[in-house]
Amino acid sequence: MEEKVLEILEEYCEEAISYTGDNMMEEGIIDSFTVINIVSELEDAFDIEVDAKYVVAENFRNKEAIIDLVKRLVEE
Amino acid sequence: METDFRRVVVVGYGKATGNILKYVDDKKTDYGYSLEFIEHEPHALSVTGQICKERGIPYASIPDKKKLGGYLGGIKEETLILSASNNFLFPASLVERENITIINFHNALLPDYPGRNAPSWVIYQGESQTGITWHYVTAGVDEGSIIIQKTCEIGPDMKAYELTERLMDLACEGFYECFAAVLAKSVQARPQQFSPDRRMYRSTQVPGDGFLDLKKEPEELYRLLRSVDYGKSDIFPPLQTLVDGARAEVLRYRKIAPEKRKDEEKMLYLSLADGNLLKIKYRLKG
């Protein structure tokens, strides 16, 4: 699963893979439009629904946070 | 560099607003105006507040329309208000004030597609081209004289949020080109010519009335799906449909190559004229 998430991230925001901080949005690594694309790909790849309440900067602060989010949603 | 404006107020949210805010802040010392930012519609992924914090730009969140009108109405000095990705309608009493000039970015080529959610309507109507307009704000919605326009193509698979992003980039380009002339009050603004059947799009209107009629051509359905696609933003409610007589709600869609077809529950596949399939995932409503 992790591998697939990273593959999607790499497709839309290569910088996110090497980013080691904890706020990709504020640091301008990723923007709201890229988040829309990533969410759409994740939903399709894992057949999950990402509710709007999860689409907040906190859940997209780095690649680990995104992987955690997907794990939680897959387990739901 | 000279301007009569003593104060510049940016009102809006999103990517274009952030970039414009940075640009106007960079020019502040050259012209000697003060700058502030007002957020009227808070957005979960907005970084404009952070830009203000980093740069020391005074920042206020005023979601209440009356309070915002009152705040702007209290401005005494000669002020330029920049409205970028902003849905607040400036009251006539403010627009008509001599010390206030307001310019607004509209995400379509005015006089066409005035009002709300223009990127959705141009996709839904099958336009091949759209663009942005910076115009002076008057008491009528999106009716003021045009300062600058920029055009772009609408790709055959472009979704509303992708077009919105493109238009925001164009809005910034247009703004960088016209800002000096706006400050110098030397813009050769062009009055809009309205046709008698000019239609104003309102926030309550949804393309296709929000219904995905599966009896229609797949190309039309694809246009409708793309036109309301803003990711998780609740700009429009989810599209409704009828599957074998049962009420259903569209969850997501995608254009795929035929070999990628994977039959699953609650999934529809429609053949598009270009040989691809339109995959639509739905859920039944109770």
Question: How confident is the model over B145-191, as pLDDT tens digits?
Answer: 999 999 999 999 999 999 999 999 999 999 999 999 999 999 999 99
Q: Which residues of A touch B164 (CB under 8 A)?
A: 33
Q: Which residue has the higher pLDDT, B175 or A31?
A: B175
Nearest residue of B to residue A25, measured between CA atoms: B47
Query: Which range among B82-86, B219-223, B269-273 shows the weakest confidence by mean pLDDT?
Result: B82-86
Predicted model pTM: 0.91
Point out the residues of B that are catalytic.
106
Domains and CATH numbers, chain B: 7-184 (3.40.50.170), 207-284 (no CATH)
Q: Which residues of B touch A28 (CB under 8 A)?
A: 47
Check if CATH label 3.40.50.720 holds for domain A2-75: no
pLDDT confidence band for B122 (50 / 70 / 90): very high
Nearest residue of A to residue B232, measured between CA atoms: A52
Kindly state the percentage of chain A with pLDDT values over 70: 100
Nearest by CB: B234 against A52, A56, A57: A52
Q: Does position A69 have pLDDT exceeding 90, yes or no? A: yes
Asked if B111 and B102 count as a contact pair (C-beta separation under 8 A), the reply is no
Asked if A55 and A33 count as a contact pair (C-beta separation under 8 A), the reply is no
Asked if B134 and B103 count as a contact pair (C-beta separation under 8 A), the reply is yes
Whether residue A57 and residue B44 make contact (CB cut-off 8 A), yes or no, is: yes
- pLDDT at site B264: 85
Asked if B279 and B268 count as a contact pair (C-beta separation under 8 A), the reply is yes
- pLDDT at site B62: 94
Nearest by CB: A35 against B45, B234, B254: B45
From B108's Cα to the closest Cα of chain A, the distance in A is 19
Please provide the size of chain A in residues. 76
Whether residue B233 and residue A39 make contact (CB cut-off 8 A), yes or no, is: no
Return the number of other C-beta atoms located less than 10 Å from residue B203's C-beta. Answer: 11
Q: Extract the tokens encoding B112.
A: 């066409």
Nearest residue of A to residue B168, measured between CA atoms: A33
Kindly state the percentage of chain B with pLDDT values over 70: 99
Whether residue A36 and residue B50 make contact (CB cut-off 8 A), yes or no, is: no
From A73's Cα to the closest Cα of chain B, the distance in A is 16
Which residue numbers of B have CB closer than 8 Å to A's CBs?
A: 14-15, 43-47, 50, 161-162, 164-165, 230-234, 251-252, 254, 264
Chains A–B, number of C-beta pairs less than 8 Å apart: 48
What is the average per-residue pLDDT within A31-44? 91
From A13's Cα to the closest Cα of chain B, the distance in A is 15
A-interface mutation test, from B165, B225, B232, most A Cβ less than 10 A away: B232
Q: Where are the domains of chain A?
A: 2-75
Kindly state the percentage of chain B with pLDDT values over 90: 87
Say whether the ipTM exceeds 0.90. no
Contact residues for B86 (Cβ-Cβ < 8 A; gap 6+) = B11, B12, B13, B17, B40, B41, B104
- pLDDT at site A52: 87
Nearest by CB: B252 against A28, A43, A55: A43
Q: Which residues of B touch A55 (CB under 8 A)?
A: 44-45, 231-232
pLDDT digits (tens, 9 = 90+) for B27-40: 999 999 999 999 98
B223: left (phi over 0), alpha (psi -120 to 50) or beta: alpha
Q: Extract the tokens encoding B23.
A: 């640009």
Q: Extract the tokens encoding B49.
A: 């507040």
**Average of per-residue pLDDT values in chain B:** 95
Q: Which residues of B touch A51 (CB under 8 A)?
A: 232
- pLDDT at site B43: 75
Q: Which residues of A touch B165 (CB under 8 A)?
A: 33
